[in-house]
Structures are given as structure tokens and as C-alpha cells.
Amino acid sequence: MAIDYGSKRVGLAVSDTQRIIATALTTVETKKIFEFLDEYLKKEEVDEFIVGLAKQMNNTLSESGVYIEPFVLELAKKYPDKKIVRIDERFTSKIATRAILESGAKKKQRQNKALVDTVSAVILLQSYMN
């Protein structure tokens, strides 16, 4: 499961059982992420969490790391049996926005930030699996 963690929303993506294709799952309000994960993990198997590592161009953590890092610590504490993999997420939002635009989405869909978060999670997961 890939997690694109943001201050307002969390984009989520999952893969098929053979780990070939990443698929958008949903977007959840940040304050409800652990409630969602608790329910999801009761029904579905998740081997590992892929969480974006927010870096600046000079490889230092970006300002969004201020809220992502405490989330990752809590994630590890709540689910100690799950592996957490961090991968660079620098360009995922731009790539997601471009992918949505190129898919022919209408203007209202392109402005939907929740959609961008979910597509970003798909990009994170697919790049990890590749």
C-alpha cells in the first residue's frame, strides 16, 4: 500500500496480489487515516507501506517532512509487523497532475486535489514496484 501523506488528505494506492499493477484506492482525510487503515487491514492483507519521502532539490527534507515524519513514526508504532519503505516523492504531484491532464479529464476533475493525491500514491507505488 502506498501512502501519499498530506496535511489535509492522504492518497492511498494498492497493488494486485502479484505486485504488477498499482491501483488507486481512495483519499482519506488526514485526521481519519488510522481509523481507515484499522478497518482496511481487518479485511485486506497489506505486506508493506510505501510512504513518500519529501525532499527538496538539494536532498534535504522539505517543509512537509514536519508532518510526514511524525506520521511515519506513529505508523510504525501502530503496525509493527508491517515493513515501511520510504521513497523519494519530489515530482509525484507534478507527474500526477500531468497524467490527469493528459487523460482528458475535465477542468473540474483536474482541480480536484484529492484526485491528485490518489494518483500520486499510484505513482509512488508503481515506481516502487518497478
How far is 28 from 101, CA to CA, in rounded Å? 22
Q: Which of 47, 19, 2 is nearest to 129 (CA)?
A: 19
Which pLDDT does position 110 carry in this prediction? Answer: 46
Buried b (16+ CB within 10 A) or exposed e, 68-106: bbebbeebeeebeeeeeeeeebeebbeebbeebeeeeee
Taking only the tens place, the pLDDT of each residue in 77-109 is: 999 999 999 987 655 666 555 655 565 555 555
104 or 22: which leads in pLDDT:
22
- Angle in degrees, CA 118, 124, 60, rounded to 5: 115
Which pLDDT does position 1 carry in this prediction? Answer: 96
Over residues 29-57, the mean pLDDT reads 90
Q: What is the mean pLDDT of the chain?
A: 80
Query: Top-level CATH class of 2-129?
Result: alpha beta
32 or 102: which leads in pLDDT:
32
Yes or no: say if 24 and 119 are a contact pair by the CB < 8 Å rule. Answer: yes
Say which range, 39-43, 69-73, 74-78, has the weakest mean pLDDT. 69-73
